[in-house]
Amino acid sequence: MEATVSSTIVYAEKAGRNVRRFSADGAIARKAAFLQWLSIVVAMGIAVFFAAYFGLVGRIWRDDSSHMSSVIAALVVGTAAYIGWLCWRVPDAGSRGDSLAEVSEIEDAAEWGGIAADLCPAIGLAGTIYGLAQQAAALKEGGDVLALLGTALFSTLSGVTGFAIVLILSHVLNSSLRRARRHA
């Protein structure tokens, strides 16, 4: 029994040294910007899972004939991945060296977040206009006008939601960059 306890203690001490070394090397333990980004992305993933589970994603795919919602989704996913990469590159408060130059470089790259946030509602508006034009054509022909309302509404909803998500992720990155600049 003593051999088991002593080997467990030795193993725990080795694991403790490895965790301290992992943290001291500057890996994920000090990446506050990346962890904030990751928590938001995980929450978004859970929301998308439940939206798909309850059929909202399928309904948007089926009813949005302009497919602008898909374009917005691709823009949001790509921008989220890019912002995550930039968050990983943000220098930590304890790092020394070229951190001010690196912060300036990341700030220049971070402008894409604002551009993508502005693009989301514009793309959603294009889908809304397409949906309203389809409704006008259906009204002229005596077709089902309300069936085409989904295109207009889902494009608008996707644009506004994409704007909010990208804006929040950009805020996480920009606030981390301001913090890094203060500590550089």
Q: Is 91 exposed, middle or buried (0-12, 13-18, 19+ CB in 10 A)?
A: buried
Q: Name the pTM for this structure.
A: 0.78
Instruction: List CB contacts of 157: < 8 A, sequence separation 6 or more.
Output: 69, 124
pLDDT in tens, the chain (184 residues): 555 545 555 554 555 554 444 444 445 546 889 999 999 999 999 999 999 999 999 988 888 888 999 999 999 999 999 999 999 999 876 666 667 888 889 999 999 999 999 999 999 999 999 989 988 888 888 877 777 788 888 999 999 999 999 999 999 999 999 988 887 6
Q: Are residues 79 and 169 both part of a single domain? A: yes
Q: Are residues 20 and 85 both part of a single domain? A: no
- Number of domains the chain is built from: 2
Q: Are residues 13 and 39 both part of a single domain? A: no
Q: Are residues 141 and 51 both part of a single domain? A: yes
pLDDT at residue 23 in the model: 47
- Alpha carbons 112 and 87: distance in angstroms, whole number: 13
Q: Are residues 79 and 47 both part of a single domain? A: yes
Q: Are residues 24 and 76 both part of a single domain? A: no
**Domain that includes residue 1, residue range:** 1-29
- Alpha carbons 48 and 60: distance in angstroms, whole number: 12
pLDDT at residue 96 in the model: 60
Query: Residue 132 corresponds to which tokens in the numbers above?
Result: 């309203």
- Alpha carbons 149 and 140: distance in angstroms, whole number: 15
